């Protein structure tokens, strides 16, 4: 926004697209002509609460496209290619990134495709921008490579669909693999998968638990749902599945589920937040029926036992292996759910 203030002619007229948008007071300047694209539900919810137009997938061309590239390198260049694809002829593409997230490298990538780039350093960050000029084509070979780097693809010898940016996107997480080894096959009724990612745990329920009637798949990352659709769609089953773009820490449907499975996160990007995992467990307890069961896997150092002991009639640790523990809890106590989950020190997964 500082770079735009110093260059008031940029984006003075016409529609504006903000990729990986975050809420900021300065966006008010563009309110009537701004489209925000955001696949991460907590940030999308902040934008929606501020009454901005939010889309998971943007459409059309824009005279100004601004983007906050993802710190993950494959996604960062894919974000630049996506910004270009939405850029009108004569339009300006402007990106900004923190220095610690690789701003200089991302700027160099943009130069590789576009040629001349203007830049501004401020607040330990870098803003850089360029114009899509007629007669000066960008390097389409570079752009195509970037698109492919961020695209959904088959992984693990073609067995699964996934996409860079999702948790454990190109391999089965060790914790999730341990959890499915201890899930009983007689689980039944309505199930939920909290923080479902590309659908590994739900796929196991579909294949191995014939008495499951339905599965709701919750994830805050909107990019998870096309891989989920493909991964679950090939499994012959009568079970109804429902992907839900939700922030689990803000709560889920209450008293609906007979079974909940989860490998809960406890960090936001690179920032460790010791309450996220506990809020997942609180949401699970609130979402279960009186005799419902919670099955989870967690890093062995995470102090979940105390909360589970307060929130459920029964809880046990089934196994500790390879730095993880598999836990089972049953019978949520409604009165315990009124308490704020207590945090503690924990290590990122």
Regarding whether 164 and 277 lie in a shared domain, the answer is yes
Average pLDDT score over the chain: 92
Work out the average pLDDT over 218-236.
Answer: 97
346 lies in some domain: no
Regarding whether 301 and 210 lie in a shared domain, the answer is yes
Regarding whether 60 and 46 lie in a shared domain, the answer is yes
Window from 10-14, 184-188, 206-210, 254-258 with minimum mean pLDDT = 10-14
Looking at the predicted structure, is the pLDDT value of residue 340 above 70? no
Quickly state the pLDDT bin for 303 (edges 50, 70, 90).
confident
pLDDT cut 70: percent of the chain above it: 93
40 lies in some domain: yes
Regarding whether 121 and 165 lie in a shared domain, the answer is no
Looking at the predicted structure, is the pLDDT value of residue 123 above 70? yes
Looking at the predicted structure, is the pLDDT value of residue 219 above 90? yes
Work out the average pLDDT over 286-308.
Answer: 94
Q: Which tens digits make up the pLDDT trace of 244-291?
A: 999 999 999 999 999 999 999 977 666 666 689 999 999 999 999 999
Neighbours of 158 (CB within 10 A): 8
Residue ending a domain, choose from 124, 149, 174: 149
Using a 10 angstrom Cβ sphere, with 0-12 exposed, 13-18 middle and 19 or more buried, the burial of residue 188 is middle
As for how many domains the chain has, the answer is 2
HSE toward the beta carbon, residue 116, CA cutoff 13 A: 5
Regarding whether 324 and 230 lie in a shared domain, the answer is yes
- Predicted local distance difference test score (pLDDT) of residue 341: 55
Regarding whether 250 and 230 lie in a shared domain, the answer is yes
Residue ending a domain, choose from 114, 149, 184: 149
Report the C-alpha gap between 112 and 118 in whole angstroms: 13
Looking at the predicted structure, is the pLDDT value of residue 8 above 80? yes
Regarding whether 254 and 160 lie in a shared domain, the answer is yes
Regarding whether 171 and 88 lie in a shared domain, the answer is no
349 lies in some domain: no
Work out the average pLDDT over 9-26.
Answer: 94
Q: What CATH code is carried by the domain that includes residue 124?
A: 3.40.50.150
Range of the domain at 221: 153-338
Quickly state the pLDDT bin for 334 (edges 50, 70, 90).
low
Helix, strand, or coil (residue 156): coil
| Angle (CA) 161 78 134, round 5° | 140
Work out the average pLDDT over 67-92.
Answer: 96
Looking at the predicted structure, is the pLDDT value of residue 348 above 90? no
Residue ending a domain, choose from 149, 184, 209: 149
Regarding whether 324 and 179 lie in a shared domain, the answer is yes
Regarding whether 295 and 167 lie in a shared domain, the answer is yes
Q: Which two tokens stand for residue 135?
A: 């007669």
Helix, strand, or coil (residue 235): coil
Regarding whether 113 and 169 lie in a shared domain, the answer is no
Looking at the predicted structure, is the pLDDT value of residue 335 above 90? no
Report yes or no on whether pTM surpasses 0.85: yes
- Predicted local distance difference test score (pLDDT) of residue 11: 87
Regarding whether 189 and 79 lie in a shared domain, the answer is no
């Amino acid at each position: 926004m500082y770079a735009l203030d110093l260059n008031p002619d940029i984006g003075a007229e016409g529609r504006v697209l903000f990729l990986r948008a975050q809420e900021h007071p300065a966006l008010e300047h563009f309110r009537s002509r701004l489209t925000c694209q955001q696949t991460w539900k907590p940030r999308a919810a902040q934008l929606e609460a501020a009454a901005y137009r939010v889309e998971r997938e943007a459409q059309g061309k824009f005279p100004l496209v601004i983007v906050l590239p993802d710190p993950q390198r494959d996604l960062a260049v894919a974000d630049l290619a996506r910004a270009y694809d939405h850029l009108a002829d004569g339009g300006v593409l402007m990106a900004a990134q923190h220095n610690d997230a690789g701003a200089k490298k991302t700027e160099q990538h943009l130069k590789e495709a576009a040629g001349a780039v203007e830049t501004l350093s401020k607040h330990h960050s870098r803003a850089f921008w360029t114009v899509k000029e007629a007669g000066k084509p960008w390097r389409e070979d570079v752009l195509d490579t970037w698109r492919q780097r961020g695209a959904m693809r088959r992984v693990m010898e073609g067995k699964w669909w996934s996409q860079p940016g999702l948790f454990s996107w190109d391999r089965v997480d060790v914790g999730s693999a341990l959890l499915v080894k201890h899930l009983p096959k007689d689980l039944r009724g309505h199930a939920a998968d909290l923080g479902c990612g590309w659908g590994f745990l739900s796929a196991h329920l579909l294949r191995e638990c014939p008495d499951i009637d339905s599965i709701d798949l919750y994830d805050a990352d909107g990019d998870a749902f096309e891989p989920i659709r493909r991964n679950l769609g090939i499994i012959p089953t009568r079970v109804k599945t429902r992907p839900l773009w939700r922030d689990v820490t803000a709560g889920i449907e209450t008293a609906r589920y007979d079974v909940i499975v989860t490998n809960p996160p406890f960090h936001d990007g690179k920032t460790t937040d010791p309450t996220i995992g506990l809020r997942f467990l609180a949401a699970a307890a609130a979402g279960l029926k009186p005799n419902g069961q919670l099955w989870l896997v967690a890093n062995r150092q995470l102090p979940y036992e105390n909360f589970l002991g307060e929130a459920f009639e029964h809880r046990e640790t089934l196994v500790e292996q390879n730095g993880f523990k598999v836990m089972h809890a049953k019978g949520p106590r409604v009165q315990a759910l009124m308490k704020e989950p207590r945090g503690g020190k924990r290590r990122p997964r």
